[in-house]
Amino acid sequence: MSSSISIPAIRVVQPIGEFFSAVISAQELVAISYADMRRIESDLDRYVGIQRKLDDGRVAEISNFVASSDATFPTSIVLAVPGACIEFDEKKGRLKLAPGVDEYGVSIPFAEIAKILDGQHRVEGLKSFSGVFDVPVSIFVDADIADQAYVFATVNLAQTKVNKSLVYDLLDYAKARSPQKSAHEIAVALDGFENGPFFQMIKRLGTATPGRPPGRETLAQATFVGSLLPFISRKPEDDRYALAKGKKVKAEPQDYQKTPLRFLWVAERDADIAKLLVNYFSAVQERWSDAWESREPGHILPRTNGFRALMRLLHLIYLREKPVADPERPGISKKRFLALFEDIDLNDDDFHKDEFVPGTGGETALFKYMARALKLLD
């Protein structure tokens, strides 16, 4: 089998976001998919039991069934695929799946392109099948653990094979307030704020939003959320679990240096967090307007490297400006951020991959350069 596959697909738009409905051969599906048991045991299974361990008896039954003359799987296998591993040709209606490298520089091999959210037993049952068997699949791109949990619960709500109380727990888990949910909601709000620096810049599930200018969306929501979470939680999954079970979470003073915005999040002041980000990145947009608005290849400021470096810088700036939690005045003005940025001797043209290479190395180099200019690092 080649190192990539191309399958027929259509884009599906629903309230949760976009996904792809596609058809794939049994052999290709087996080759690219996996059930992440380590993640299941450490995350979802720990909390709500999603996709529990394989039932060998059920797999044997399915294996026998797929070999019969009237075998059929008319409902979709549900998969989660990283955005780095997928390309969609809208005109041809073809979806290309191939190994990739994620935003942290980690290689994703061919055998781990697709994580199975629902249908694990069916995929296992197909492993011994050698004939023609096309399988319908639903593919979610860059779906985080909350989206995955919600999709699993929705798919299984009406099915007797999954304990109903488990499914309702899982829906609560996906809907409950959590660091991840807050970060997602902030991302969505800033993406829709027409007068803000992130207007129409953030991709919901890793694919371009129809109707937006090509190339406008330079940030994956997963990147935005992953950069914001350290400001509000050291253990986001523990916070989510506690809140889903009706428990309270706290902002401990000794954790302020590591999670400086947690006191706002615990107080449900997500709007103050969003306002801080608007002020900060509006100052970035004004100070380096050409670099922030550029969508030319190689320009990094509005992309993963630049964004992550700027978020790391914000962490240090906030702690210097607010050495202790200040509930009465938690914000920093755009004017103050602009004054600070005047001490950073970078021009718009400097924010380029030739100066700051792709990957974590370039991100760290940019962060350190700006932090040292502000005397935030030795």
For residue range 239-293, what is the model confidence (pLDDT) as tens digits?
A: 887 887 788 999 999 999 999 999 999 999 999 999 999 999 999 999 999 999 9
Query: At 145, is the pLDDT very low, low, confident or very high (cuts 50, 70, 90)?
Result: low
Distances 4 to 97, 109, 136, 300 between C-alpha atoms, Å: 6, 11, 18, 28
pLDDT of residue 146: 62
Contact of 146 with 181, CB cutoff 8 Å: yes
pLDDT of residue 160: 44
What average pLDDT is seen over the chain?
A: 86
CA–CA distance, 378 with 262 (Å, rounded to integer): 26
86-90, 120-124, 167-171: segment of lowest average pLDDT? 167-171
Lowest mean pLDDT among 110-124, 157-171, 177-191, 209-223: 157-171
**Among the listed ranges 66-75, 153-162, 361-370, which one has the minimum average pLDDT value?**
153-162
275 close to 331: Cβ distance less than 8 angstroms: yes
168's CB contacts (< 8 A; 6+ apart) are: 153
Residue 48 reports pLDDT greater than 70: no
The first and second tokens of residue 365, run together, are 């180099």
Q: How far apart are the first and last CA of the chain?
A: 52
